[in-house]
Amino acid sequence: MSKFQKALQSKAGKVSDQARKAKVHRAGASFGPVDIPDGSYTAIVSASTDVPTKGKLEGIPIVRFTATVDGGEHEGKEPKKTFFLQGKPPVDPKGDEIPTDEQQLLGLLEFLLPDVESPEDIAQIESYIEEVNNRLPLCTIGVRNRHVTPATGGGPKHYQDVYFNKMLK
């Protein structure tokens, strides 16, 4: 079992069945905004995993999807969408609460691999991510840049939302 699988099983394993039943495909924040304006782009999607060994995210499995723009003025730029799999209990997908990263990840994997059934076990997620990397799906993505001034003061923080809107290939 890989380091990622062990961390995933430890953190998110206990809620995987619930998350699978309540999965959601919904875009969220990405860190490290890329210099690309708001708009729609075609992009090739790949994914990576990580488990930090230091800091406040130590031991938390992370899955990052990279959407490499494949044409036009912004060709080669890579907006990203990141999921932090902390094992939070799933929320009602029809409710007002933001779905957990586990729910959103399962929904995005189902979107990117429409001919593959959702993982039955949380330990299978790594193989699904490998399949995304084998296929490198082509999608239409949406990018939205946001600047938020924290309530605690300080300068504005910059965020970038990446939406996976339509499968092209």
* Tens-level pLDDT at each residue, the chain (169 residues): 788 888 877 777 776 666 666 665 544 434 457 889 999 999 999 999 999 888 898 899 999 999 999 999 999 999 999 999 998 888 888 888 888 998 899 889 999 999 988 777 777 889 999 999 999 999 999 999 987 777 666 667 788 899 999 999 7
Closest CA to 128 of 140, 146, 113: 113
Strands (E), 51-149: 62-69, 80-84, 138-148
CA–CA gap between residue 153 and residue 1 (Å, rounded): 44
82: tokens are 């990141």
What tokens appear for 73 in the block?
Answer: 């003025």
CB atoms within 10 A of CB 168: 12
Spatial neighbors of 118 by CB under 8 A, at least 6 apart, are 20, 23, 106, 109, 110
| Strand partners for 48 | 64
* Residue 144 near residue 29 (C-beta atoms within 8 A): no
Can you give the pTM of this predicted structure?
A: 0.75
